[in-house]
A and B are shown apart, each in its own frame.
Chain A
């Protein structure tokens, strides 16, 4: 199947200047390369949450499960368990994945399930028009917190390194070549790939100038590392609230047996249902 139709004809409704366009095109470019390189197109599955980011399901011409708010990860886990050969990608929002469905994120890392998470972190609820999220800075004047958010933000990178994600990286919607590389690395990594993407929301939290000024690339000769302490130090360099430099790139990678590999090892061969049932009944007589 040709890759020319990887962008569907569905009308695009993102705001002009939205960082989602860059993520969409980075993902499309990576998929094009992989499909042209021989990976069958039907082996890719995209799972999205509900939010502006979720529209990726309508816009990309691959298998997709447009799920519900906060629940991309359990759906993706179910798909990956049913068929470990599939390449399962989640596009989730920050409200979606760090708020409504945070428990699933922690468990995905803990299990090292072989899926690729792309978090469209615009640090705001886009689709519901501008409330604070778990990664909004302290004092963020969202529509539900007009006097300023009274909460400290969550540091998703530190959380993921600490809970066992085996590939952890941060990208930025205005650094396209790096973004492509991170997605490519995430898809080829076996285990949980966690890609936190700083995504510009043109309408409700436009941080373009701030990110452009503060972001820097990690030295590829030193990162990603398998050293958890070093990775945590880098993850903590920016706390999502106070002014500091913002490291971009992969900071942690290790190869651990995946959830699917563990489960497959527990399972033994097939037996037809009737004989399994007969065996059980015989034990009961």
Chain B
């Protein structure tokens, strides 16, 4: 279903209620939220889709349109599937086909404020969709807490104004929580042992900051919002040096400001996790829309050569796991780790499978041990990873340095030591790549007999997976993008004759990365208007190139 209205009419809240309703019917949910970068006015809409199997995208077609304003009818009525239902607030939309809901009447009867209009439309929708009133009550109480009363009374009024039109099948299962990607990332960071989260607000990652700031009052977590992204990453590095697991969050513009700090992390071997939520650029671009344009930027950002981890999860469940893992790996290998997300993932809603007891490996024991005295922060070891100690450590002097340095962390310009340290960092990149073999770094699905592979990454996988499910195609999706999982990727494309790359940019960034590792592409599907792909679009565009 699609619910739309003007910004400020509570479309986001309404979609949260719809998510819960669908989840409580035992269904898998996906929610797409589309809004312009302003606070009042303008057109907002959300698509809440549910199914009997896991989903990670929406479709062009919807079974219900719930219109709080005329614009919603104008823009979206044509998306209705045959047999679908259009519900509209007949106090503001005068003439339309479909089911009129006279919201003014419902509100007047209860003396309710305009902010409850969204609840009124949901009440009407629930009746039209055959959702029992008792479920509506439960969900409103959970979503609105002590404000449930007036919203429920308005919903009840409009519930009684319409008749049942469609029926959404119920599935007998424990409901899965619906989480946005950002919520899953926040929980994953907590699971990974996060001590401090530092961020400067920027769509689409701001809600991680808000959520964790709320968390801070019930956990030992510190949450800091400093003067700029430059300060953000440097505070994180200072914190890590003093033994605090720190993560930061931003989008492309803020990441630009972090690049000098990223390079410092690489040189000083002080770990940090960066959540990079992509939105269309260049520059301020489309702040509240989505893209996949920072893969190569993330890979190359920062002066000099140093190892880094880049992982791009596709949905909330995966975002949870890889956020925890990014912290684990960043600390184990003392490297910067970038969790590459996008607006679709960050702010989209997903039925998520979250294991609160997910095992996160403790830092290597070797890191606490020290072969001999004195402590050398950059001790050269066969795998490039030095024992990690943080200040204060009794009896040790711990020196980290942005200049090239010797094993003790003292500045050097000596040619031999410089080369040895470069080699050490190169070795660490190799060790990290090897450690990643323990994880699923490339997602593969589809029949063994497939001759064509569709390669994609990140949130675009949701739409591609469904499109591929309907055809004899194989989905290949690298989750880890740096160090590139060359062997796993080779195994994934084994037996394929053609590779089509689907991504949300126009330079083909994954395709370029594949080429670098010896994998050519035979066709490509790109989209770059800030809106995510839909299943129907991918099906038809794949048909053109396959």
Whether B354 lies near A277 (C-beta < 8 A) is yes
Once bound together, how far apart are the Cα atoms of A82 and B243, in whole Å?
7
Check A79 against B239 for contact (C-beta < 8 Å).
yes
Q: What B residues does A280 contact at CB under 8 A?
A: 183, 187, 215
Binds A, one of B80-88, B95-103, B393-401, B420-428: B393-401
Contact at A74–B217, with CB atoms within 8 Å? no
Which residue of chain A lies nearest to B270 when distances are taken between CB atoms in the complex? A65
User: Which listed residue (A10, A62, A270, A284) contacts B177, Cβ 8 A?
Assistant: A284
A1 interface contact, C-beta 8 A = yes
Judge whether B394 and A40 touch: CB under 8 Å: yes
What's the least CB distance linking A110 to chain B, in Å? 9
Alpha-carbon distance between A270 and B230 when the two chains are bound, in angstroms = 29
Q: How far is the CA of A103 from the CA of B405 in the complex (A)?
A: 29
Cβ contact within 8 Å between A104 and B231: yes
Query: How many Å from the CB of A281 to the closest CB on chain B?
Result: 5
Cβ contact within 8 Å between B227 and A68: no
A65–B394 Cα gap in the complex (Å)? 17
- CB of B535 within 8 Å of the partner chain: no
B153 to chain A, nearest CB (A): 24
Q: Is B477 an interface residue (CB 8 A)?
A: no
With known contacts A71-B234, A78-B242, A86–B392 Cβ distance under 8 A: yes
Q: What chain A residues lie within 8 Å of B236 (beta carbons)? A: 78
Partner of B222, one of A40, A58, A65, A267: A267
A279 to B218 CA separation, bound complex (whole angstroms): 11
Whether A42 is near chain B, meaning CB under 8 Å from some CB there, is: yes
Evaluate contact between A76 and B238: CB separation under 8 angstroms: yes
A274 to chain B: which residues have CB within 8 Å? Answer: 191, 356-357
Q: Are B403 and A66 interface neighbours, CB within 8 A?
A: yes
Are A74 and B410 neighbours in the complex by a CB distance under 8 Å? no
The distance from the CB of A17 to the nearest CB of chain B, in whole angstroms, is: 22
Cβ-defined contact, B235 with A42, below 8 A: no
| In the bound complex, CA of A266 to CA of B235 (Å) | 19
As a 0/1 sequence over residues 97 to 126 of chain B, the CB contacts with chain A under 8 angstroms (1 = contact) are: 000000000000000000000000000000
B500 within 8 A of A: no
The 8 Å CB contact of A63, one of B183, B227, B231, B399, is: B399
CA distance A68 to B219 in the complex (A): 33
Once bound together, how far apart are the Cα atoms of A81 and B245, in whole Å? 12
Tell whether, in the assembled complex, residue A42 and residue B239 are in contact, meaning their CB atoms are under 8 Å apart: no
Q: Does B64 contact A (CB under 8 A)?
A: no
State in angstroms the CA–CA spacing of A68 and B220 once bound together.
30
Distance in angstroms from A197 CB to nearest chain B CB is: 22
Q: How far is the CB of B317 from chain A (nearest CB, A)?
A: 12
Bound Cα distance A267, B217 (Å): 5
B235 in contact with A74 (CB, 8 Å):
yes
Interface residues in B363-412 (C-beta closer than 8 Å to A)? 391-403, 405, 409-411
Tell me the A24-52 residues at the B interface (CB within 8 Å).
40-43, 45, 47, 50
Q: Is the CB of B241 within 8 A of A65?
A: yes
Does residue B54 face the partner (Cβ distance < 8 Å to A)? Answer: no
Known contacts A61-B397, A66-B401, A104-B231; is-contact A74 B226 (Cβ 8 Å): yes
* A270 and B243 contacting across the interface, CB-CB below 8 Å: no
Judge whether B523 is part of the interface by a CB distance below 8 angstroms. no
The answer to the question of B178 belonging to the interface, with a C-beta cut-off of 8 Å to chain A, is yes
Query: Bound state CA distance, A281 and B357, in angstroms?
Result: 13
15 contacts between A and B (CB under 8 A): A45-B392, A47-B238, A65-B238, A78-B236, A78-B244, A81-B239, A82-B196, A82-B238, A82-B240, A82-B241, A104-B231, A266-B216, A276-B215, A285-B20, A285-B23
